[in-house]
Amino acid sequence: MQKIIELHNIIKEFDGERILDNIDLDIYDKEFITILGPSGCGKTTTLRIIGGFETPDSGECLFDGKRINDIPAYRRNVNTVFQKYALFPHLNVFENIAFALRLKKVPEDEIIRRVREMLDMVALRGFEHKNVNYLSGGQQQRVAIARALISHPRVLLLDEPLGALDLKLRKDMQNELKHIQQRTGITFIYVTHDQEEALTMSDTVVVMADGKIQQVGTPIDIYNEPVNAFVADFIGESNIVDGVMIEDGRVRFSGKEFVCVDGGFGKNEAVDVVVRPEDVDFVAPEKGMLVGTVTSVTFKGVHYEFIVDIGGFKWMIQSTDFVDQDERVGISIDPDAIHIMKKSEYSGKYGDYSSFSDELDSLSDADTVEEE
Amino acid sequence: MKKKSLGGALVAVPHIVWSALFIIAPLLFVLYYTFTSPEGGFTFDNILGLTEYADIFRTSIEMSIIATFCCFLIGYPLAYFIARSTERQKKIFMILLMLPMWTNLLIRTYSMMAILDDGGFLNSILLALDLAPVHIVGTKGAVIFGIVYDFFPYMVLPIYTAIEKIDRRLLEAASDLGCSNAQVMTQVILPLSKSGIVSGITMVFVPSISTFYISQKLGGGTFELIGDTIERQFQSYSTYNIGAAISLVMMILILISLAIMNRFSDGEETAGRLKR
């Protein structure tokens, strides 16, 4: 695949505060790439630099291999779907969508044809003469997408476009956006803080935190092989415990030794161990690799969600088997469900469920460590 | 429900009394004088005799249109500039803009005379610099300058408010879709500040068409505006009827122009086509 946008060592500061710290990112033609991170991580600023609304303090932004740092937004072959849509209130639906074509002085019959095409694509046929101020959020969103796509940009930037919609509509729009992206073959760069949205739609996910890129990969890579505690915690649920790598394939945590499939660490190197809640099986206490006490049970529909106290550390476990609160349980973990990560600045900050429960008393439980 | 509307009616009483005394009653007087002779009989002569003042009407309309247009030319860029400044700068510019309005109009006009007069401040500077003195007071230009100087804050304020309301993201969206800076101005900012432009024009045009003092002082008595004529008619009792007739015609003219302006601002509410 061919690179369409490259960011090299991008640094951006606002009022002396570093928002982007050495961003390096390659974006490939025709891919659906999502920049994912909590608010304030720099994801929107990255998007605005690609769109031409911000200039980086240093570093290079390349489009098709050519430097575009100094090219203004209106001359870039990139269009944007803005947060809260930013439709022109003085123009109706048709004219909002036709805006870019009218600027280019495209002949009237072609404008009509192409606007119709766009209206069909976003299922808004018949809305041509409606006032945009009276449309619902979902309809405004569709107008914004049609308006951005009508001039067939190479790249479409989407800044949390579904943030203002309710859950049901959001799911529908996710599918629709993915569908539109596949049909048009336009590169979508999508910014969101919603990890589920990122996993559902993207070919590539870029996880950002504190102005830095933490990890780039496919949704499956990001979920199964997170590089550090931040990514493991931000994408899905994770139990992250301190461990020691005895040698390749053998790791020690929670006072026990486990077989795993990861390697390449130093002998006796301190590591973070990630176990996803759904990868833990309940067994009889005497057969368990680890033994703990269930402190809370929540019914989630497809499965139950348990918080289990194992040696003072609270694990989240998801299972379809029911175990009652206060029951002692044994747990078993398959070797390939144990993921080992190098220690990072985020170690110890995430992946402990002692404060997860609504009941504050489980917080104090974590302080009184009982050895098994 | 009934009680509530009674309370509502009571609140409106001072306004109704005020309007009746100071708006409705004077209008009725104007109507009465317009259609009566000095002796008190009914007549159309006052209205029919107005052809005599046609030239003065024309000059007044002409000059107020020019002055309003000048106010717009100066006021719009200034309003845009202020609306795009930082919060701190906005406060400073606002004070600078309002400051002259804290001084009485007569005093401002007198000081303008002192500055622009043939032997005034400006000409003494020009002479001191060995430049030819300029004759300003007594020309139409001086009167237009005076009107613009006095009324242009009324142009800036509503336009400033309208531009400030425009969401910045709309400007980004416009340049994202291919607008150069100039096109962002013509396609988005101008149409979205139309309501401000309409009220600005109204607020400058109406007082400047009926202004009288500025033309007497800065015009040096060389020509009259309709406001001056009305004032003169009301100085002697025998010509009240003519003054009233001119006032009535003026009011009708202003009402017509307001109606036209309102049509423009109504157009803003219904989303329309992009201008080309």
User: Does A74 reach chain B within 8 Å, measured CB to CB?
Assistant: yes
**Domain contains B47:** no
Q: Would you state the structure tokens that stand for residue A269, as one six-digit string?
A: 């190197």
- Rounded to whole angstroms, the Cα distance separating B52 from B47 reads 10
- Rounded to whole angstroms, the Cα distance separating A343 from A347 reads 6
- The shortest C-alpha distance from A74 to chain B (Å) reads 4
Residue B182: Cβ-neighbour burial (10 angstroms; 0-12, 13-18, 19+): exposed
- C-alpha distances out from residue B265 to A89, B162, B207, Å: 14, 12, 20
CA-nearest residue to A106 within chain B is B276
Half-sphere exposure of A121 (CA within 13 A, CB side): 25
Residues 6+ apart with CB under 8 A from A309: A292, A293, A294, A295, A315, A365
User: Does A115 reach chain B within 8 Å, measured CB to CB?
Assistant: no
Yes or no: say if A269 and A340 are a contact pair by the CB < 8 Å rule. Answer: no
pLDDT single digits (tens) A251-285 = 999 888 899 988 888 888 999 999 999 999 999 88
As a whole number of Å, the end-to-end CA separation of chain A is 53
pLDDT of residue B236: 75
User: Does B70 reach chain A within 8 Å, measured CB to CB?
Assistant: no
What is the count of structural domains for chain B? Answer: 1
Q: Would you state the structure tokens that stand for residue A360, as one six-digit string?
A: 């504050």
Instruction: Give B212's DSSP letter.
Output: -
pLDDT single digits (tens) A300-336 = 889 999 999 998 889 999 999 898 889 999 999 999 9
pLDDT of residue B46: 84
pLDDT of residue A360: 39
Q: Give the CATH number for residue B231.
A: 1.10.3720.10
Residues 6+ apart with CB under 8 A from A199: A205, A219, A222, A223, A235
- Rounded to whole angstroms, the Cα distance separating A366 from A364 reads 5
CATH 3.40.50.720 matches A3-222: no
In degrees, rounded to 5, the angle at the alpha carbon of residue B186 between the alpha carbons of residues B182 and B188 is: 110
- Rounded to whole angstroms, the Cα distance separating B43 from A212 reads 87
Domain coordinates in residue numbering, chain A: 3-222, 238-367
pLDDT of residue A59: 93
Task: List chain A residues with CB under 8 Å of B173.
Answer: 80, 82, 86-88
pLDDT of residue A356: 60
How many secondary structure helices (H) and strands (E) does chain B include?
15, 0
pLDDT single digits (tens) B63-107 = 999 999 999 999 999 999 999 999 999 999 999 988 888 888 888
Q: Is the pLDDT of residue B243 over 80?
A: yes
Q: Is the pLDDT of residue B271 over 50?
A: no
Measured in whole angstroms, how far is the alpha carbon of residue A111 from the centre of its chain?
37
pLDDT single digits (tens) B96-133 = 988 888 888 888 888 888 888 888 888 888 888 888 88
- Rounded to whole angstroms, the Cα distance separating A251 from A261 reads 10
Least confident of A36-40, A291-295, A345-349, B13-17: A345-349
- Cβ within 8 Å, pair A86-B173: yes
**Domain contains B18:** no
- Region of B258 please: left (phi>0), alpha (psi -120 to 50) or beta: alpha
Q: Would you state the structure tokens that stand for residue A115, as one six-digit string?
A: 């606007």
- Cβ within 8 Å, pair A90-B268: yes
Task: List chain B residues with CB under 8 Å of A72.
Answer: 175
Pick from B167, B179, B274: CB nearest A91: B274
User: In this complex, how many residue pairs, one in chain A and one in chain B, have their CB atoms less than 8 Å apart?
Assistant: 80
Phi, psi of B255 (to 5 degrees): -60, -40
- Rounded to whole angstroms, the Cα distance separating A63 from A7 reads 9
Q: Is the pLDDT of residue A355 over 80?
A: no
pLDDT of residue A371: 35
pTM score, whole prediction: 0.81
**Domain contains B116:** yes
Yes or no: say if A27 and A3 are a contact pair by the CB < 8 Å rule. Answer: yes
Phi, psi of A355 (to 5 degrees): -105, 10
pLDDT single digits (tens) B48-61 = 888 888 888 998 99
CATH label, A238-367, candidates 3.40.50.720, 3.40.50.2300, 3.20.20.80, 2.40.50.140: 2.40.50.140
- Cβ within 8 Å, pair B271-A133: yes
Task: List chain A residues with CB under 8 Å of B177.
Answer: 74, 79, 99-100, 103, 147-148, 151
- Rounded to whole angstroms, the Cα distance separating B126 from B118 reads 11
Give the domain extent around B218.
Answer: 53-268
- The shortest C-alpha distance from A78 to chain B (Å) reads 8
Q: Where are the alpha helices (DSSP H) in A108-150?
A: 108-121, 137-149
Measured in whole angstroms, how far is the alpha carbon of residue A45 from the centre of its chain?
16
- Rounded to whole angstroms, the Cα distance separating B219 from A348 reads 83
**pLDDT mean over A124-132:** 91
Higher-confidence position of A33 and A268: A33
Residues 6+ apart with CB under 8 A from B20: none
Task: List chain B residues with CB under 8 Å of A82.
Answer: 169, 172-173
Neighbour tally for A199: CB within 10 Å:
18
Yes or no: say if A123 and A141 are a contact pair by the CB < 8 Å rule. Answer: no
pLDDT of residue B270: 44
Residue B167: Cβ-neighbour burial (10 angstroms; 0-12, 13-18, 19+): middle
pLDDT of residue B265: 67
**Domain contains B168:** yes
